Structure formats: C-alpha cells, structure tokens
C-alpha cells in the first residue's frame, strides 16, 4: 500500500502503527491533500497532526471527509455542534474517560469506523494515549489459532459500562452521562476476527469493556480465550504511544485499532473535542 506523498510529509511513529503527518493546515484542506491523508490513515491506522488551530465547525468539516458522522448516545454534545463531544477531566476528578483498552462504540450494530480527537487543554505531564494494532496482533497468531477463531462471534453490549450496574453508574466520573436505556442494554453479535472493508486485512475485534461473552458460551467459559486475546493484542510490539500537545489532532481507525487513555495526571485538567464517523456491520 505504501506510495509516495506529494502534498504531505508522513513520519511513522512505530513499526506496528501510527504516523505523524505534517505540512498541512486542516482548516484549509483541498481534496488532493485529503486523498493522501486518507491513504496514510489506511496504511498507518492512526495519524496525528501537530499545532492545529481549528474550531469545532472546522473539526466537523474535516471529520466529515471520512464519512457520515455518528452522534454519541451517552454525553451531550457541544451546543450548536451535534457531533462534537467534549471529553473533560477536571483537576479534582479521579476517573477518566476511556481508561482501558477498547474500540469506540463497538457495542453498536454498526460500530463507528473513525474517531477524530482534538486537544483543547492538556496536562503538563501525563495523559498520553496508547494505541494497539489489532491487525498486527492477528498476524502474529499461529495458523492453528487463526483456524480456531474463524467464524467465532462475541456478544457486544454497552451494559458493562453504561448499563444499570455498569462501570460509569456509581463512579467518580468526569462528565455527566445522559440516559439512553435502549442503547445501554442492546446486544449485537460481531465476529472476533473482522475483515477491514477497505484494506482487506484481518484483525482481532473484541474489547474488554464491551464484550459480554462468546456466542453460545457462558461468561466463565468465554473468559480464558478472551483473556488470552486481550493480553496478546496489547503487547508492546503491537502498540504506539502518543504524547499530546495543545493543538494535536488524532484520527484512528476503530475497525483495526484499540486505544487506552492513560489516567496519570492527578490534579491537572484535560479537555478534548471528539467526533466519531459512522461505520458498517463487521464481517
């Protein structure tokens, strides 16, 4: 897939995934430049831009180039910007948002394909985000494990996090969560190995916060295989780490990437604007 770029500079950040893109102003983006950005995104799975100064409307316009936008069901958006979700952790809040390996909104029938996150305020130190390539993790498994996983599906749900007894219900959470009972308790079956619809590359697709169990198995029966895959997929050789700066914007591919927002900046404030892009049914 690797080709030359004439409108942007692309610097990979790790062997598994991630690249910094420079030489572009996202507020004044032409179609030819975006085509190269999109190509780099498919190749590197996570791309980030430094020193951007964009408004919520400009972030929305950029995100729309990746596809139709998806509203997040559990947090109220910014006023006047229905697809822009403020992700805020105040100085005196202990729990953060996204503090565990996961793929965004995998609990939906059509999970989101892309997340676009922009840094408004960052701590002096800490608050990095880790990313893991689920396609690199899948490639590293044996043929026997590939055969074992072929056709296996898992039950995805938001209930473990957002449901009546979920993680966010009685916790010291940084933001007010909105109620959406239908979304909280819905369950969908997705393959635990999905094929990327644009690259054709296979990757692991299951994450601890949003998977209840494997299809036709109990929670206890599912746990050993799921735990092995969770641990395997987040080994250092499959990961990259992003140090945020003011004005950094990141886009990652939820179809083949998991991420983890580190919660190591007690007493400091962090604020991001997040937009998600609609995806399709995994296969």
DSSP for 246-270?
TT-EEEEETTTEEEEE----TT--E
Domain assignment present for 97 = yes
At 231, which CATH number? 3.60.130.10
Q: What is the band of 174 on the pLDDT scale with cuts at 50, 70, 90? A: low
Domain assignment present for 145 = yes
**Closest CA relative to residue 93, chosen from 246, 278, 281, 271:** 271
Is the predicted pLDDT of residue 9 greater than 90, yes or no? yes
Domain assignment present for 95 = yes
Query: Which one is catalytic: 44, 104, 162, 270?
Result: 104
Is 53 a known active-site residue?
Answer: no
The helices-and-strands tally (H runs, E runs) of the chain is: 7, 16
Cβ 253 vs Cβ 42: under 8 Å: yes
Tell me the torsion sign for CA atoms 177, 131, 280, 275. positive
Is 172 a known active-site residue?
Answer: no
Look at residue 184 in the predicted model and tell me its pLDDT.
86
Query: Which one is catalytic: 44, 196, 270, 274?
Result: 274
Domain assignment present for 253 = yes
- End-to-end Cα spacing for the chain: 22
Domain assignment present for 214 = yes
Is 274 a known active-site residue?
Answer: yes
Count the domains in the chain: 1
Look at residue 1 in the predicted model and tell me its pLDDT.
43
Name the residue range of residue 224's domain.
9-277
Cβ 158 vs Cβ 186: under 8 Å: yes
**Cα–Cα distances in angstroms (integers) from residue 140 to residues 103, 187, 197, 239, in the given order:** 20, 30, 21, 13
Average pLDDT for 106-112: 97
Q: What is the band of 180 on the pLDDT scale with cuts at 50, 70, 90? A: confident
CA dist., res. 66 & res. 44, Å (int) = 15
Is the predicted pLDDT of residue 80 greater than 80, yes or no? yes
Domain assignment present for 125 = yes
Query: Which one is catalytic: 201, 210, 259, 270?
Result: 259
Q: What is the band of 2 on the pLDDT scale with cuts at 50, 70, 90? A: very low
Domain assignment present for 1 = no
Is the predicted pLDDT of residue 53 greater than 90, yes or no? yes
Domain assignment present for 58 = yes
Q: What is the pTM of this model?
A: 0.94
Look at residue 175 in the predicted model and tell me its pLDDT.
63
Indicate the DSSP class of residue 144.
H
Residue given tokens 């003011």 in the structure block: 246
Is the predicted pLDDT of residue 206 greater than 90, yes or no? yes
Query: Which one is catalytic: 102, 162, 201, 210?
Result: 102
Is 190 a known active-site residue?
Answer: no
Cβ 63 vs Cβ 114: under 8 Å: yes
Q: What is the band of 93 on the pLDDT scale with cuts at 50, 70, 90? A: very high
- As to burial, measured by CB atoms within 10 angstroms (0-12 exposed, 13-18 middle, 19+ buried), residue 87 is buried
Give me the chain's average pLDDT, please: 94
């Amino acid at each position: 897939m690797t080709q030359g770029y004439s409108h942007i500079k692309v610097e990979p950040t790790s062997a598994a995934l991630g690249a910094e893109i420079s030489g572009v102003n996202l507020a004044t983006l032409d179609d030819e430049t975006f085509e190269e950005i999109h190509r780099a995104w498919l190749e590197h799975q996570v791309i980030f831009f430094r020193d951007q100064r964009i408004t919520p409307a400009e972030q929305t316009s950029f995100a729309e180039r990746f596809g139709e936008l998806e509203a997040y069901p559990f947090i109220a958006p910014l006023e006047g910007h229905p697809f822009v979700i403020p992700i805020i952790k105040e100085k005196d809040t202990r729990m953060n948002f996204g503090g565990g390996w996961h793929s965004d909104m995998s609990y939906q029938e059509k999970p989101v394909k892309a997340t676009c996150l922009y840094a408004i305020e960052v701590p002096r130190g800490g608050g990095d985000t880790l990313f893991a390539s689920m396609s690199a993790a899948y490639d590293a498994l044996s043929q026997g494990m590939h055969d074992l996983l072929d056709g296996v599906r898992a039950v995805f749900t938001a209930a473990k996090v957002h449901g009546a007894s979920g993680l966010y219900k009685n916790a010291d959470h940084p933001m007010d969560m909105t109620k959406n009972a239908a979304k909280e308790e819905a369950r969908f079956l997705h393959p635990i190995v999905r094929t990327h619809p644009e690259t054709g590359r296979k990757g692991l697709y299951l994450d601890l916060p949003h998977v209840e169990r494997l299809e036709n198995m109990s929670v206890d029966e599912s746990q050993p295989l799921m735990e092995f895959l969770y641990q395997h997929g987040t080994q250092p050789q499959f990961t990259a780490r992003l140090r945020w700066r003011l004005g950094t914007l990141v886009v990652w591919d939820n179809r083949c990437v998991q991420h983890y927002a580190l919660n190591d900046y007690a007493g400091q404030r962090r604020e991001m604007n997040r937009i998600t892009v609609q995806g399709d049914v995994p296969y």
